[in-house]
Chain A
Amino acid sequence: MENLLLKIGQNLFLIFGLMALGGAAVMVAAKNAVHSVMGFLLAMLAMAGCYLCIGAEFMGVAQLLVYAGGIVVLFLFVVMLVELSKAKEKGVFQRQTPFALVLAGAGVVGFVGVFWKTIFGTSAQEALTLAPGLVTQGEKLGNAQMLSRGLFAEYLLPFEILSVILLVALVGAVVLAKTERV
């Protein structure tokens, strides 16, 4: 029992990653749009778990708040607003589905082929392993503190530009979604 728990703890990232892949597959394959959104939700929750596993605590919590809390609810609202019964008549998948799937499969095979040694080779595995020892300053400060120093000191200008973009998107969304005569 303890052995099993230890193994689960060691492979937590793999478990979350597989959950994310499963949620994404459900999202793409589901016929009902609400089921798709649920698959998306599962994928986003699992991604938050992945972020937590690779030592990005702040990003994991932000992922939970932004995606699971905000974006999924927005998607559900729009699914509720638009009527989807007409979409079912012509089928949910495009005509080019087989070709597209073959293309995506070829992409996967090509990637694995090119990076075969990087991914599965024993010699390369050592070099690319995550090195927590590198984060000397970060361990003392904690993830959120370190991130805030980066955001508000080093990358202040991109951060401010992002806030302007968010404002523009807010105004744009209101203008696009309002009715003509108002």
Chain B
Amino acid sequence: MPSMNLVLLISFLLFSIGVAGVLIRRNVLIILMCAELMLNAANLNLIAFARHSGTVAGQAFALMVMGLAAAEVAVGLAIVVALYRKKNSISVDEINLLKG
């Protein structure tokens, strides 16, 4: 059984890689994947704390986060496909419909 510190450290590093990916990439698909990675890092924390406290609440909510992430991917990818039809590109630089 690993120690709690190791779990927290790895989860935090995964989260920061996700944040860095959202900040530096231009491709909408990869930004979505980085968001998924951040949700997964949070899930790892939830499960670790569930194990630590000996209750099941953390795991139950991690399962719900997973379902929510699946819903998010479905809607996000549909938006990406619609966007590609409209702008013929999926680079975030080209998406400026709300720009004044």
Contacts and interface: CB of A to CB of B under 8 A. Distances in A.
Interface in A140-161: 143, 146-147, 149-151, 154-155, 158-159
A128 interface: yes
A4 interface: no
Contact of B27 (A33, A55, A173): A33
Contacts, number: 252
A155 B16 CA distance: 30
Secondary structure call for the A interface: helix
A8 interface: no
Nearest to A146: B56
Interface string B39-79: 01001100110111111110111111011111111110111
Given A86-B89, A94-B24, A50 B8 contact: no
B63 A62 contact: yes
Contacts of A17: 6-7, 10
Nearest to B65: A162
Contacts of B88: 86
A162 B51 contact: no
A169 B44 contact: no
Contacts of A168: 71
B5 A118 contact: yes
Contacts of B56: 138, 146-147, 149-150, 154
Contacts of B69: 66, 71
A168 B70 CA distance: 12
A44 B45 CA distance: 15
29 contacts: A13-B7, A17-B10, A40-B36, A47-B40, A50-B44, A53-B1, A54-B48, A55-B51, A62-B66, A71-B36, A78-B29, A78-B77, A78-B80, A96-B24, A97-B23, A108-B12, A120-B5, A130-B1, A130-B7, A134-B54, A138-B54, A138-B56, A150-B55, A154-B57, A155-B57, A162-B64, A165-B67, A169-B75, A172-B78
Given A40-B33, A90-B26, A147-B56, 11 more contacts: A13-B6, A24-B17, A24-B37, A56-B62, A59-B63, A94-B92, A119-B5, A134-B53, A149-B56, A159-B64, A176-B79
Interface of A: 13-14, 17, 20-21, 24-25, 27-28, 33, 36-37, 40, 43-44, 47, 50-51, 53-56, 58-59, 62-63, 66-67, 70-71, 74-75, 78-79, 81-82, 84, 86-87, 90-94, 96-97, 100-101, 103-104, 107-108, 111, 115, 118-120, 124-125, 128-132, 134-136, 138, 143, 146-147, 149-151, 154-155, 158-159, 162, 165-166, 168-170, 172-174, 176-177, 179
